[in-house]
Each structure stands twice: as C-alpha cells, then as structure tokens.
Amino acid sequence: MPSDVNPIPHLKHRMADLVVKTAPGMKVTVRQLAHEFWFGTAISSGILSGNPASADKEKYLAVLKENFNSAVHENAMKWYSTERRRGEINYEEADACLQWCSNNGLRMRGHCVYWAVDQFAQDWVKKLGDQALRSAVEARAIDLLTHYRGKIDEFDVNNEMVHGDFYARRLGDPIRKEMFLWCKEANPDAILYMNDYGILSARDLPKYEQQIESLLAQGTPIGGIGLQGHFRGGVDRDKVKRVLDSLSQFNLPIRITEFDIKTLDEDAKARELEALYRTCFEHPSVNGILMWGFWAKAHWLSSERWGIDGYTALWDKDWNPMPAARVYRDLVFREWWTRYEGTANRDGICEVPVFLGKHRISAAGAETVIELSNSGDRKEVDLSAQPGAEGEAINRAPW
C-alpha cells in the first residue's frame, strides 16, 4: 500500500482509518500482520498423525501457517470420525489439529455436528430405533459443543440439509431446529451455521432460502450462512453476486466454507479463483473464504486419488506453487495488505487507511501493535511519548 494511498471505494467495508500522532515530519510506517477477514483452508485428516512423510508434513504445516489465518477440519470432527462405534468417542485427531492451529495463530471453525445425507451416517446410527436415535443425536450435540466450548465457537450444524434428510425423515422435521437448540444449550456463545452446496451457482438457492426462512420463523438460532463452492466450471461473478445479494436479506454473516475448482487448466483455475475471491471480498455480507485443501497429495480431489497432478490444489505434489497459488498470494498479501511509509504533517499527524486486522505501527523509535475489526472505525495511536519497544512478532511474512 503506497504512502499516498486513499481508501478503495469498493472495499471501504474492509477498511478503517488509523491516525498516528508523533513529532512533525517524523517517518511513520504501518505493516499489516494479519487479516480480520478469514482466508482459510480445510486441514487434511491425518496430516498431524504421522501419515505423510516427515518432510512433507513439515512443509505442509509451514505452507499452512504462511498462507492462511483460519482453518477447518476436513473430516476429523465429523461424527463418523469421532464415534465410529457407539459410545467410543475419540477427539484425539481433531484435538491435535486444533492445538496446532491455536499454537500458530489460526482460528478454527467446526465442521460438522451432523451430516444430513444418508450415506454419511454410521451403520450403528442407522440401526438405532427412533427414540434411541433421538437420544444419540442429542448426546452428540451436547458432547461435541461442550468439548470445544471456549476453543471453537463456530459450527456447521446439520450439513447439506437441502440435499439430505436422514434425520428429518427418521425423527420428523422438528429435529432440524432441535439440533441447533441442543448445540446452543451446550455452548450459548456458539455461532451456528447452515451449510450447503449448489447455492453459489443459484441452482438450489430458492430451496436454501426457503429452508433458512422456515427455520428462522421457528426460532432456530441460526448465526450464519455457509456456502460451499465446489466449482466444476467457470465462476460467474454476476451470478455469485446476485446470490450473495439475495441471501443478505437474512442479515446473517456469510462464509464461503468449502472452495475449489476442478480443472486441469491451471491458468483457468487461477482466473476463476481470482473471480470468486474478488467477488466475495468485495461483498459486505461475506466474512471469510475457506478453500477445501491446498496440496495435491492431501486433497479430496487429489493426484493421489485420481492419478492426475492438478485439479483443485494450489501446490503440486512436489510443493511447486501453481498459478492459482500466486494469484491467491497476490490478492491476500499484496493487493489487500497494508504497507505504508510516510511522514507526519506539521501537526504531527499521519492518517492511514488500513485493511481490517492487526497492524504494527512505528514512529520516532516507538512501536505498537493494534487491531481494527470494524469497517469505518477511526483509531488514534499516540506514539509521541512512547519509548521504543519490541512489538509482537510477525508470523506470516508476505511475499
């Protein structure tokens, strides 16, 4: 961000004003340390349990830390992973992932409490009688949300309800609301999301909106709208914007929860990633984008599974960044990243528009770290009388 930068009109909702007070004519530098907006990824199951070679594991975690500020378990938190056999609950893998993210400054969301599609319910769950099934469903919410209370406070509740109705078919439509209520009971601070696919293409948008409207009318504590974005073709920016505009009627935050593009044309992948990220970052209702994996050897559409190097990953099997990785980095760490050098005016004032997030400010040998979380904020920092000090370490160095 050059020293003469002005707020970017179409990104004003991503920015705030920083006012630095120091001696007249003094040099002022502002360096962004982290984004408020979630730029995240799913973390491959098993990556922390020793499945990959040690060198790949080390590289995976380094790339994860350098490029993302948030994450979600790919499969490790799903019910079929944590309770393969009835009553034998094991959060070890999910906990290890959370611990690493917590230690390395990545925020996490929970995916998912339930999965509405029949094929993802364990056999033992399917064999339960209705009353036993209801009890098991309640116990799952209480145990999971209690276990992660204060550690993870955002969850996809009943994944893909537009496309699956296993629990509703067995226990009746009210179970959908009850699932949310049980989660809230276990963690009143939890932000509970809907999550589904086929929405950004507008194909299933009417069904999704009807479902959200119905559940809200029943008093269901929905806290956010999740949109999967598994693209098999181009990203239609106008259509995506219309979808986001339409969903904004609910006045709920929107996350792109699962993003990838299946194509062997690497240049096309880069173009479509840019289209999706620009459209969503520009939209005021969207609060984050999480891609569904980033490395070709640990991806649900990976070279290992399909025998083709490419498809959706941003880094190939040998850790070479593909064009999409470079586009992603350019957007997140260059175009949407605060870098300012300038001088205070004759009154010792320097005004800097900054992207929301954490920033290090330096002037006259003094230094501090501040965080701005709300667009339109105006925060004053007085460095005129502060002694020089070591600030918070930068843990994510942009290219």
Respond yes or no: is residue 160 known to be catalytic: yes
* Residue for token pair 């925020």: 107
Q: Quick one: CA torsion of 245, 246, 250, 252, rounded to 10 degrees?
A: -40
Those residues whose C-beta lies under 8 Å from the C-beta of residue 216, and which sit 6 or more positions away, are 222, 250
The β-bridge partners of 372 are 357
Of the residues 160, 272, 274, 367, only one is catalytic, namely: 160
* Residue for token pair 């034998």: 88
Of the residues 36, 83, 154, 258, only one is catalytic, namely: 258
Strands annotated E in 36-84: 38-43, 70-73
Those residues whose C-beta lies under 8 Å from the C-beta of residue 313, and which sit 6 or more positions away, are 293, 294, 295, 296, 299, 301, 302, 303, 322
Respond yes or no: is residue 282 known to be catalytic: no
Q: Quick one: CA torsion of 46, 52, 56, 57, rounded to 10 degrees?
A: 40
Residue 310 to residue 301: CA distance in whole angstroms: 9
DSSP 128-149: S-HHHHHHHHHHHHHHHHHHTT
> Other CB atoms closer than 10 Å to residue 13's CB: what's the count?
16
Residue 37 to residue 8: CA distance in whole angstroms: 16
CB 166 within 8 A of CB 118: yes
**Strands across the sheet with 70-73, in order?**
107-109, 70-73, 38-43, 286-291, 254-261, 224-231, 191-196, 154-156
The pair phi, psi for residue 380, each rounded to 5°, is -100, 135
DSSP 356: S
Residue 7 to residue 184: CA distance in whole angstroms: 39
The pair phi, psi for residue 307, each rounded to 5°, is 75, 15
Indicate the SS3 state at residue 344.
coil
Q: Annotated catalytic sites, by residue?
A: 160, 258
